[in-house]
């Protein structure tokens, strides 16, 4: 049953919200008393845990299954969150994947295409749907888009993930352009660039301890925590960041 959000409650859709940075962001948004849509693609149990953590923290939440690389899934999840909570105030473009480390010369076309479908086309589709719903000229109330990039976009990940790095670099470029495109519509667009963070994505690339090992080389001498990235994301979503748009904020421990 739909229950419209109150005037002081933000409604935030988080893609890739079932694990890592997405889950931490959902919990912190819940602690702010916000309503959260937790997008996931396959692991319903993990999404349910994210929903439970957000609700235990004091917010409301709903799990939203959908593949961000599929246009019809993206449109459907935006429709579902607005049906559930009555409106949308923000998007966290967080969903992303990585593949086992390889030099570019050894990567298949299928691998490269899949990385860009999920990490680049997906966030572009999600940003498009957010722009359609948030823009004042289209009947929206304004709002915020926060994109999640990676330190790989700056350093290139040679010999490992140059496909992943390129897919994230595109997100940073989109952030700058879309911020200028949507400023007059009352929509702020920013980006968080995490460094080595202790999340499950490293295991999906076949190197579960990668973040811990490489994080030791940062200025702070340790791997980052998902909750530390979530703090930056939620700040950018909040009214405290009301004059911040087009920014790419490093959360990299000084790397």
Annotated catalytic residues are 164
Q: Annotate 59-73 with b (16+ C-beta within 10 A) or e (fewer).
A: bbbbbbbbbbbeeeb
Pairing of strands 90-93, 11-14: parallel
Neighbours of 8 (CB within 10 A): 8
Pairing of strands 187-194, 248-251: parallel
The answer for residues whose C-beta is within 8 angstroms of residue 70's C-beta and 6 or more apart is none
Residue 84 — φ and ψ, nearest 5°? -75, -45
Q: Annotate 121-145 with b (16+ C-beta within 10 A) or e (fewer).
A: bbbbbbbebbbebbbeeeebeebbb
At residue 30, the 3 state secondary structure works out as helix
Helices 122-134 & 162-182, crossing angle to 10 degrees?
10
Q: Given CA atoms 234, 92, 18, 161 in this order, what sign does their dihedral have?
A: negative
What the block records as the tokens of 26 is 């959902």
């Amino acid at each position: 049953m739909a229950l419209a959000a109150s005037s002081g409650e933000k409604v935030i859709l988080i893609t890739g919200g079932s694990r890592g940075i997405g889950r931490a962001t959902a919990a912190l948004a819940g602690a702010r008393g916000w309503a959260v849509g937790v997008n996931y693609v396959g692991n319903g149990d993990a999404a349910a845990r994210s929903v439970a953590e957000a609700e235990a923290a004091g917010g409301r939440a709903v799990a939203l299954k959908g593949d961000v690389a599929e246009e019809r899934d993206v449109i459907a999840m935006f429709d579902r969150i607005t049906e559930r909570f009555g409106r949308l105030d923000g998007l966290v473009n967080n969903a992303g994947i990585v593949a086992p480390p390889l030099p570019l010369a050894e990567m298949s076309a299928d691998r490269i295409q899949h990385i860009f479908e999920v990490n680049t086309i997906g966030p572009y589709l999600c940003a498009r749907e957010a722009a359609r719903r948030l823009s004042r000229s289209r009947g929206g109330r304004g709002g915020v888009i926060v994109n999640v990039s990676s330190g790989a976009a700056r350093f290139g990940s040679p010999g490992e993930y140059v496909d992943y790095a390129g897919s994230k670099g595109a997100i940073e470029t989109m952030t700058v352009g879309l911020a200028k495109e949507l400023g007059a519509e009352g929509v702020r667009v920013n980006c968080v660039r995490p460094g080595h963070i202790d999340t499950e994505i490293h295991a999906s690339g076949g190197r579960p301890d990668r973040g811990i090992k490489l994080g030791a080389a940062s200025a702070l001498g340790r791997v980052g925590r998902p909750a530390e990235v979530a703090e930056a994301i939620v700040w950018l979503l909040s009214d405290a960041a009301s004059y911040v748009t087009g920014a790419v904020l490093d959360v990299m421990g000084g790397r």
